Amino acid sequence: MCGIVAYIGQRPAKPLLLEGLKRLEYRGYDSAGIAVINGKLNVARSVGRVSMLEEKLEGLKGFEGSLGLCHTRWATHGAVTEHNAHPHRDDRHGIAVVHNGIIENYAALKTWLQERGHVFSSQTDTEVIAMLVSELYEGDLEKAVQAALREVTGAYAIAVVCEKEPDVLVVARKGSPLLVGVGNGEFIVASDAAAIISHTQQAFMLDDYNVVKLTRTEFKTTDIHNTPVTPKVQQLELDLEQIELGSYPHFMLKEIFEQPKSLRACMSGRMDTREGRVVLGGLNTFAKELTRARRVILTAQGTALHAAMIGRYLIEDLAKLPAQTEYASEFRYRNPVIEEGTVVVAVSQSGETADTLAALMEAKERGALALGVINVVGSSIARETDAGVYLRVGPEIGVASTKAFTGQVAVASLIGLFLARRRMMSAGDCADYLRAMETIPEKIEKILEQAPKIKRITEKYVERENWLFLGRGYNYPTALEGALKLKEISYIHAEGMPAAEMKHGPIALINEGMPAVFIANKGRQYEKVMSNIQEVRSRGGHVIAVATEGDEHIAKYVQDVMYIPDIPEPLSPMLAVVPLQLMAYYAAVARGHDVDKPRNLAKSVTVE
């Protein structure tokens, strides 16, 4: 979602800040702005891409200072206008603020501030912070920020500067991620490590309610009540090459093709095929509790929910343990029944998904054992869990998740086998599954060799505005994921559903030439899927099948086939989803869309 970069040091701030914003463009945004203190506070804002802000800054004076902050905004309060873009300011003391998150009590605070003479120029909740800090400012920016945040309800990551204190930058966090990069005589603050990695690999994450005062030579960390806090400076597990495009035209395509490598990293050291054993160090402390668990709830949003659904099938099928999936946004506001022996697994690429974090906290409050399946080390969900498993697939820049999804399914498979082996699965059966998992990266490489064919198939149907994606069993969630990918980046209306559900209403949508993508790999319900294919064909729909290599029979009944290698059915989603990812990518390119920055979407949804 919104991106923050702030800098204090010896170098000119503007080029460093703009470079950082460009690193955060993948998060999704609709406007951008910058503030630099150079004797006085100077602010520039624009609607559109960071490049539009750069153009506006050309020739402008006053942005030559070495203290500043900048922001990319994804609209929540107020329309996409320059007045609503960050930074927001209050000119009584020359204060500027950038903010990620939502201030829930902003309306009451705004009324109070207006009664005290403050005049607002935007419809945002963020402008309240600038006015509130200004109202409480008595010559000490750090104390004013602490006092302001004691009055605020909601989520925030903020950076604040004041022209009366040209050697001070104050940052704070609750609920939205923020980290401080520690350089040589400088500090770089960002909402994502990608913005600072080219300058320093030493950084510390802020915990909730932390406030950090930064000068050009040192930092001081407290909470909002001014109690000292000692942060832990760590080495960032990220390198510049991972966030560069290289020879690829888009990050999404790069990340699709990175899946063999990312899955090897995900599975490395976690599978003992000789002993038929899964090694998940993050879960070892709670192995007994997990073995005795009575129920598993997997909670997530979006793509992560589809991975969680596959995880549910794996846990029920392999470990014979009752499992269910929940939209985190619904789970958190229900009165969920959490019995003794309940394990709740939060699945999230970023580890900052607001609804998933809140669902996890609700489950913990009710006594559940809280686990996480997360990609970002040190993220909010990772820190709130009792234990968990990192994906280790590397940073994912494309907004439409690809390698994180297959990583989540791989980890769900490992967790399912971890539980199954401890409950009832033999070492031999577990070893067979693990050996099959070892072949997945190589098999994905084989699927990727078909990319030109998949491109040609996609281009045949790219003008059609309504698609169906259908699957059964393990590949019903894969169908949901295929439909979501197509919607996200090509803006084609697509519906994913269980193949059997089609004739209970959606079959009415099928007309001549309508594309229907069936996941029809060999498995327990193959014949049932073939019957569903016939139902679509008889009504004029054009069937595109994802089928198992060697299945020549299916080619007689469909218009187009994309083949995947054979693999045990519980592991097939990691293969079946790859052609669907490529179809979505090629559809978006053919329709001329910005693949890595789809409209209205954000990479990390840190607000409700």
Structural domains of the chain ordered from first start: 3-240 (3.60.20.10), 245-438 (3.40.50.10490), 449-596 (3.40.50.10490)
Instruction: Judge whether 603 counts as a catalytic residue.
Output: yes
**Which pair of structure tokens corresponds to residue 337?**
């029944």
Q: How sure is the predictor about 351, in pLDDT bands with cuts at 50, 70 and 90?
A: confident
* Mean pLDDT of the region 588-608: 79
Q: How sure is the predictor about 25, in pLDDT bands with cuts at 50, 70 and 90?
A: confident
Tell me if the bond preceding 322 is cis, omega within 30° of 0. no
pLDDT at 279: 93
pLDDT digits (tens, 9 = 90+) for 75-119: 777 888 888 999 999 999 999 999 988 899 999 999 999 999 999
> Residue 314 corresponds to which amino acid?
L
pLDDT at 446: 97
pLDDT of 363 strictly over 80: yes
More confidently predicted of 606 and 399: 399
pLDDT at 603: 60
Q: Length of the chain, please?
A: 608
**Which pair of structure tokens corresponds to residue 245?**
């495009």
Q: How sure is the predictor about 608, in pLDDT bands with cuts at 50, 70 and 90?
A: low
Q: How sure is the predictor about 30, in pLDDT bands with cuts at 50, 70 and 90?
A: confident
pLDDT at 350: 86
Q: How sure is the predictor about 500, in pLDDT bands with cuts at 50, 70 and 90?
A: confident
Return the minimum-mean-pLDDT range out of 422-426, 460-464, 533-537: 533-537
Angstrom distance (rounded) from CA 170 to CA 539: 64
pLDDT at 607: 55
pLDDT digits (tens, 9 = 90+) for 221-257: 999 999 999 998 988 877 666 777 788 999 999 999 9
Say which of 2, 162, 266, 430 is annotated catalytic. Answer: 2
Angstrom distance (rounded) from CA 81 to CA 424: 59
**Mean pLDDT score of the chain, rounded to an integer?**
92
- Is residue 133 classed as helix, strand or coil in its secondary structure? helix
pLDDT of 606 strictly over 60: no
Exposed / middle / buried, residue 75 (Cβ in 10 Å: 0-12, 13-18, 19+): middle
pLDDT digits (tens, 9 = 90+) for 187-202: 999 988 888 888 998 9
Do the Cβ atoms of 511 and 470 come closer than 8 Å? Answer: no
pLDDT of 605 strictly over 80: no
pLDDT at 140: 96
Q: How far is CA 380 from CA 205, 361, 607, in A?
A: 10, 11, 13
Say which of 110, 213, 487, 603 is annotated catalytic. Answer: 603
pLDDT at 379: 83
Quote the percentage of the chain above a pLDDT of 70.
98
DSSP track, 368-411: PEEEEEESSTT-HHHHHSSEEEE-------SSS-SHHHHHHHHH
pLDDT at 335: 86
Angstrom distance (rounded) from CA 389 to CA 45: 41
pLDDT at 239: 67
* Mean pLDDT of the region 381-388: 90
pLDDT at 1: 60
**Which pair of structure tokens corresponds to residue 249?**
């035209």
- Cross-strand partners of 548: 564
pLDDT at 409: 98
* Mean pLDDT of the region 208-225: 95
Full strand arrangement of the beta sheet holding 219-223? 88-90, 95-100, 156-162, 165-174, 210-214, 219-223
Q: How far is CA 388 from CA 2, 137, 250, 262, in A?
A: 27, 43, 31, 18
